[in-house]
Amino acid sequence: MLKVECFEISCNCYFVTDDSAEGSLVVDPGGSCAKLEKRIDDYGADKLKYILITHGHYDHIGNAASLKRKYPSADIVIGEKEKDFTSNKMLNLSMFSGEPVEKFEADLLVKEGTSLNFGVDKIEVIETPGHTRGGVCYRIGDVLFTGDTLFRLSMGRTDFPTGNEEELTESLKKLAELDGNFDVYCGHGEKTALEYERKYNTYMRKSLL
């Protein structure tokens, strides 16, 4: 059974475990967090399989390089169109934020339809450009990690480098048209549900018109 724990750092960083996978993963490690690392260690340092990145802004990737050094068993995963964000200070916004980001390279570059093994469920990649050109969401069973594409009753900004409002609207439509309901874990703010967003999120409702 999938278990999701949230650690609020620079963004919502998630620690995900699945006993059927005998492993764990982290989503969007935006900054250092002793509590997160203790949780990883308690579950099993060698069981960390993936560091999933939804997009390459500094507040979502800031601790990726450090985690990779400490947990070399974990593959860093990012959208293939986002690969330059891991080393480009303008793209990842660290140039403007005052928050330095250590350069790193992803182990796996993924795209629409990529599937990664994780227990009884697969990690399915959904390309959702708009907030950035190469942003992705990750679907695991009935759970969606949406980064800064979809928030509770809102959506991500499109005024940063490579952002595009039309693309983000199409990405919201793509998520809205997924079959079934999902628990939605956003990059910032509260957890929500896809069916709730279909009904009440103005931006998602407009995307379906």
Provide the b/e sequence for 156-190 (b: ≥16 CB within 10 Å): bebebebbeeebbbebbebbbeeeeebebbbbbee
Cα–Cα distance, 209 to 201 (Å, whole number) = 13
Cα–Cα distance, 57 to 134 (Å, whole number) = 11
Give the confidence band of 175 by pLDDT, cuts at 50, 70, 90: very high
Q: Average pLDDT for residues 7-27, to the nearest whole number?
A: 93
Cα–Cα distance, 200 to 206 (Å, whole number) = 11
Calculate the CA dihedral of residues 7, 16, 136, 66 and round it to 10 degrees: 60
- CATH number of domain containing 122: 3.60.15.10
Out of 4-8, 21-25, 117-121, the most confident range is 4-8
Q: How far is CA 192 from the centre of its chain?
A: 15
Domain that holds residue 45: 2-207
Give the confidence band of 98 by pLDDT, cuts at 50, 70, 90: confident
Is residue 10 pLDDT above 80, yes or no? yes
Q: What's the domain count of the chain?
A: 1
Is residue 17 pLDDT above 80, yes or no? yes
Q: Average pLDDT for residues 169-191, to the nearest whole number?
A: 98
pTM value surpassing 0.75: yes
| pLDDT tens per residue, range 122-153 | 999 999 999 999 999 999 999 999 999 999 99
Q: Please give the pLDDT value at position 27.
A: 98
Q: Average pLDDT for residues 151-164, to the nearest whole number?
A: 98
| pLDDT tens per residue, range 20-37 | 878 999 999 999 999 999
Cα–Cα distance, 7 to 18 (Å, whole number) = 18
Is residue 1 pLDDT above 90, yes or no? no
Q: Average pLDDT for residues 32-59, to the nearest whole number?
A: 97
Give the confidence band of 59 by pLDDT, cuts at 50, 70, 90: very high
Q: Report the mean per-residue pLDDT for the chain.
A: 96
